[in-house]
Chains A and B, each alone.
Chain A
Amino acid sequence: MQRDQDDGRGLWLKAGAVWIALGVVLAATVAGAYLAPGPLRLPLALGLGAVKAALVVVVFMELFDSRASTRIAPLVGALFVALLFALSFADEATRQEMPRSFAAPPERAVQDR
């Protein structure tokens, strides 16, 4: 019974320690959105987001404690998301010109008149 109580305290302490780390990184994320130089804000915010996600995935979701066959599932998911982004931005990032806005009147309408 005494052992059970000790186990209980230990696991709350572990969860609490990760929670404090998550809170600190969140505070840094919000501060960075106001204080970091403009072009760095998005990569910084996403980088700190990745740190928070890594803490949750590694400690709370115990991904690396599971079997290799289990770890393959999220890896395949991440791979497909990477493919989705890579193929789409291979087009988007290399286009010379895009319509300025959906709201702008198409040029064809002007020619028709």
Chain B
Amino acid sequence: MTRGLHEPFATLPRQREAATFGIWIFLATEMIFFGGLFLGYAVYRHEYPAGFAAAGARTDIVIGTANTMLLLTSSATMAAAVWSGRAGLRGNTLLALVLTALLGTGFLVLKAVEYRNDIDEGLVPGSPAFPLSEPGAELFFGYYWAMTGLHTVHLVIGVGALGLTAWRLWRGRLAWRGTGFLHVLGLYWHFVDVIWIFLFPLLYLMGR
């Protein structure tokens, strides 16, 4: 029996197709899940343009831009991991997976620093030290925390999955040749990147 082939599939290509279809269905539900938050943001921005602009100018554009570049870079290394896996290059795949996990970890470290600064500045909805008086500014930060927080949870899961995959690949415990495993992991990672691509202008570039 071919390594990595599971019931009920007769061949690896059919198993790969099913895995790809499955992850895309999951990602479609994630689109709708994040879509609700984007919608809430859009409605309140339409309602309070001045408050959203004033609040958007208070987010950290340096960390935000650096984090965007980290995630874009991590998507490139993730793609290299998937393509290396397809070409049968084990060392290359392992290197690219580790790089992707490190870039993801870098994002999380910078995000933690940014969250600490935000809390120090009182940029938390409901905080007595909240520095802005414009209507809608607190709503903006409500969405900022909810959207970046949910995105961070997704990223933590991604970094964990990458670390586990790299470790299993290194130990020879992963059926990576011909299976859809790396591609499915890559699709999840790229999706988390795409969500950030749209979060970045909405949360960091308003009111500049």
Binding site for B on A (CB under 8 A): 4, 7-8, 11-12, 14-16, 18-19, 22-23, 26, 29-30, 33-34, 41-42, 45-46, 48-49, 52-53, 56-57, 59-62, 66-67, 69-71, 73-74, 76-78, 80-81, 84-85, 88-89, 92-93, 98, 100-104
Q: How large is the interface on B (under 10, 10 to 19, 20 to 34, 35 or more residues)?
A: 35 or more
C-alpha gap A46/B202 in the complex (Å): 8
Are the CB atoms of B135 and A100 closer together than 8 Å? Answer: yes
Binding site for A on B (CB under 8 A): 17, 20-21, 24-25, 27-32, 35-36, 38-39, 42-43, 46-48, 61, 65, 68-69, 72-73, 75-80, 83-84, 87-89, 92, 135-136, 183, 186-187, 190-191, 193-194, 197-198, 200-201, 205-206, 208
Nearest CB in chain B: distance from A52 CB, A: 5
Secondary structure of the A contact surface, majority rule: helix
Q: A11-B87, A70-B24 are in contact. Are A23 and B72 (CB under 8 A)?
A: yes
Q: Looking at the complex, which one of A4, A23, A70 makes contact with B20 (CB distance below 8 Å)? A: A70
Are the CB atoms of A66 and B186 closer together than 8 Å? Answer: no
C-alpha gap A71/B21 in the complex (Å): 8
Chain B residues, Cβ within 8 Å of A101: 48, 135-136
Are the CB atoms of B27 and A53 closer together than 8 Å? Answer: no
Are the CB atoms of B80 and A52 closer together than 8 Å? Answer: no
Q: A46-B198, A74-B28, A84-B32 are in contact. Are A22 and B72 (CB under 8 A)?
A: yes
What residue of chain A has the Cβ atom nearest to residue B191's Cβ?
Answer: A61
